[in-house]
Structure 1
């Protein structure tokens, strides 16, 4: 079979996986290397992590040097980043597992972010509020809610976009498994005619 094939992942999904992986890698570098990365006296820290310094002025978890919550989520994010980059590579090689890995990675990102948000809602009495109470509502909205909201909205859009690609119709699924011994794991079958999805 020759010609142009439809990409395994939509281009915007691959772009999201890459951007998310890069931002989260940078985020992990910040949280795992505190106190060096959040030292206000360090010109290097201010240059490399200025955005995170602004963010930590609202989110106390990022301000606290030995915060266990951000260290834990950082470790989880390392796995997410690895899965994102692996999904991009597999999709570029037209391997069918790239689709499943992208879907799985985005479920992980979505649920981790929901867990992260839940820490900021209805804190038990006696605990310090995780958000700086001295910041104005507008600052909290722009610095905290909007950037973190992206990691709820984008994975959700990816899940919707990939759902139909994963949920194959039974007729197509049967044809796939019949031909599965004739392919190398990608989405192209050399001797399989196009199957109608009626």
Structure 2
């Protein structure tokens, strides 16, 4: 089995680790990171984002906290994957596949909250079309699209590594 993951997947793991660390820090240190808090100057984008995704500013919303704790586990798995990748560990593509599936489904679960399925469409009704599309779907959509593309790429890598060679196929006949 190939011990390397594609470079673009490794780069994504680095980028998402940094972004998730920043995001989790913002959420877990609330209310100090919210507008008017002594740490809000570190998070100007997030302070604005609380006007887009109101769950981020809602101190009573426990799901955002749970999602941020999951971000910390995601970061740990990303780092483990990257270390394995750098060491050419044959398990790196398997762990990368696992962490990308985790990221994908965590984000899908988060986004489903904003749909009529979970009675959450009121959470985005305050947004005009442009803000909803660009700032809500656009920012969150990357955590669905890129992991899905990573899963597709890694799945092909894993399948090709598990496929029997021509000599092995002949022996089974």
TM-score when normalising by structure 1: 0.76
Partner of 1:178: none
Partner of 1:41: 36
* In 2, Cα distance between equivalents of 1:12 and 1:128: 34
Whether 1:108 aligns to 2:94 is no
Partner of 2:152: 160
Structure 1 stretches of 4+ moved >6 Å: none
* In 2, Cα distance between equivalents of 1:82 and 1:137: 36
Name the count of aligned residue pairs: 164
Partner of 1:117: 111
Cα 1:17–1:9, aligned 2, differ >3 Å: closer, same or farther? same
Q: Which runs of 5+ in 2 are unaligned?
A: 169-173
- Structure 2 counterpart of 1:134, from 126, 130, 142: 126
* In 2, Cα distance between equivalents of 1:43 and 1:33: 11
Structure 1 contact 123–129 (Cα < 8 Å) conserved: no
- Structure 1 counterpart of 2:17, from 14, 18, 21: 21
Partner of 2:142: 150
Q: Which runs of 5+ in 1 are unaligned?
A: 1-5, 175-198
- Report the alpha carbon displacement of residue 171 of structure 1 after superposing the two structures with TM: 2.9
Deviations 1:65-99 (A, max 9, x none): 23101001111111111101110111000001211
Q: Considering only aligned residues, what root-mean-square deviation do their CA atoms show, in Å?
A: 2.0
Higher Cα Rg, which structure: 1
Structure 2 contact 32–38 (Cα < 8 Å) conserved: no
1 or 2, which has the higher helix percentage?
2
Partner of 1:82: 76
114-123 or 163-172, which moves further after superposition? 163-172
Cα 1:118–1:84, aligned 2, differ >3 Å: closer, same or farther? same
Partner of 2:44: 50
TM-score when normalising by structure 2: 0.87
